[in-house]
Amino acid sequence: MNRGALEQLRKAVGADHVVSDPHDLVIFERDASITGALPDAIVFPADTAEVSKVLRIAAAHGLPVVPRGAGTGLSGGAVTIRHGIALSLARMHRILEIDAGNRTATVEPGVVNLDLSQAAARQGLFYAPDPSSQKACTIGGNAAENSGGPHCLYYGVTSNHVLGMEVVLADGSVHRVGGDNPDRPGLDLLGVLVGSEGTMAVITKIQVKLLPLPEAVTTLMAAFPTIETASHAVSDVIAHGIVPAALEMMDHATVGAVEAHYRAGYPTDAGAVLLVEVDGLTESAQELMDQVRRLLESNEAFSCRVAADAAERELLWAGRKGAIGALGRIKPNYYLHDGVVPRTRLPEVLRQVGEVAGRYRLPVANVFHAGDGNLHPNILFDLRETGVMDRVEKAGEEMLRACIDAGGTLSGEHGIGLEKNAFMPWIFGPDDLDAMQRVKDVFDPGGSLNPGKVFPDAERKEARLLARSGVASEAQWW
């Protein structure tokens, strides 16, 4: 980056909020995926006006801009593969309004997901999307990636809860899309921008809907002899017309690692463990959970246990949401995909995942949103092993291919980003991809916003990543 551009950026946001020393940039070279690239500078604007100034400067100097939240993304969306500016929204972290009467909140993009939930709870409300990284991830990043979470089975993903956004386009112009009325006339530009992964606009404000806290929440843990029996149990519950608030599964390898750290009471002799949660009125929630329990037990469930209080419930969920970090007890590094398959195909695809792992001599741990068929196979490895990354990437590609062949898709909540853009032709034809690209071109005609993401990238000589590695540790969430 030339000196003139740097000076203009410093003037726009303050010298203390522009970082360009290569040593200081290292911590911003990657997100939670397995690849990395240094930006030329990272810029921390304080408000919409400063975001607009940064984008105008970038446009004048032909610099790529990659919006960045908390860096918890798992598809390489925040990696500056063309260098340029990493635009961190971390300073924009205010909850601007909680309107209890209309059950909405307006926030800046840097607000941490859990902070919004806690603020809303003080008024008897909650924000439903709850990625497992919710202690760290931000609402802006959630909107950019259309994030899910354990409770998206019943409540839906982020796009179901965003009412409106303020965004800044690549030319620095500021726009408002959506609003209080969910049935606004005209094109659904909000639907286009939520989940666009920073390739069309920078989000500077978000209005979301809040829901009343349920009167009762009941959480059940159930163990199964195999992951196949647990998968059949999931399908049986849904087939009986029951959609719990959450239906999460962990396999034997994951259960062992999680229990060793969290002591949550997961049976370590189980082939798989399900966490099921229902909420609502006290009597109806209990009745529904009783039905779920009978169905699970008819599918070989054992050691069924309902959390006795909020503390036990939190412990059960702490194990599930901390599962990836706990896997560091097995291997120091991991590679994670989030393909989606029809629920009825879960046992078949999980068998294929295990077969792929066996062929490549790599351990795999499965922890996933079983209710909606959103798989999360974690390939575990040690980066210090010579040649291991080639095996890891080939195995990951084959696992993702198995999802597609089963009638599934590339991503349920992590986004396409850099890691899966080369595989987009598996599910979209040339005309589909061209139509999507033309939509992006309307918002970002110069292609400066998060280039090389989502769409197949002709500038990359190989589909595979020049990967670093995700590091599993007990302090990391996903």
The whole-angstrom separation of Cα 58 and Cα 218 is 51
Q: How far is CA 429 from CA 287, 419, 424, 436, in A?
A: 47, 19, 9, 11
Task: Report the C-alpha gap between 140 and 84 in whole angstroms.
Answer: 21
Quote the percentage of the chain above a pLDDT of 70: 95
Token digits for 419? Answer: 């890691």
- The domains found in the chain, sorted by start residue, are 3-88 (3.30.43.10), 95-212 (3.30.465.10), 216-323 (3.30.70.2190), 326-415+463-471 (3.30.70.2740)
Angle between helices 227-239 and 282-298 (to 10 degrees): 130
Task: Kindly state the DSSP code that residue 32 receives in the 8-state scheme.
Answer: S
By C-alpha distance, which of 174, 180, 274, 168 is closest to 220? Answer: 274
Per-residue pLDDT of the chain (478 residues; tens, 9 = 90+): 899 999 999 999 999 999 999 999 998 998 998 888 999 999 999 999 999 999 999 999 999 999 999 999 999 999 999 999 999 999 999 999 999 999 999 999 999 999 999 999 999 999 999 998 999 999 999 999 999 999 999 999 999 999 999 999 999 999 999 987 666 778 899 999 999 999 999 999 999 999 999 999 999 999 999 999 999 999 999 999 999 999 999 999 999 999 999 999 999 999 999 999 999 999 999 999 999 999 999 999 999 999 999 999 999 999 999 998 899 999 999 999 899 999 999 999 999 999 999 999 999 999 999 999 999 999 999 999 999 999 999 999 999 999 999 999 999 999 999 999 999 999 999 999 999 999 999 999 999 999 999 999 877 654 444 433 444 443 333 2
Enumerate residues 6+ apart whose C-beta is below 8 A from 229. Answer: 271, 272, 299, 300
Is-above-0.85 flag for pTM? yes
The one-character DSSP state at 376 is -
- Let me know: does 416 contact 424? Beta carbons within 8 Å: yes
- pLDDT tens for 247-273 read 999 999 999 999 999 999 999 999 999
Q: List phi, psi (to 5°) of 383.
A: -60, -25
Read off the tokens for 40: 């030329």
Work out the number of other CB atoms within 10 angstroms of the CB of residue 58: 26
Helices marked H in 38-86 — which ranges?
A: 48-61
CA angle at residue 467 from 432 to 86, to 5 degrees? 70
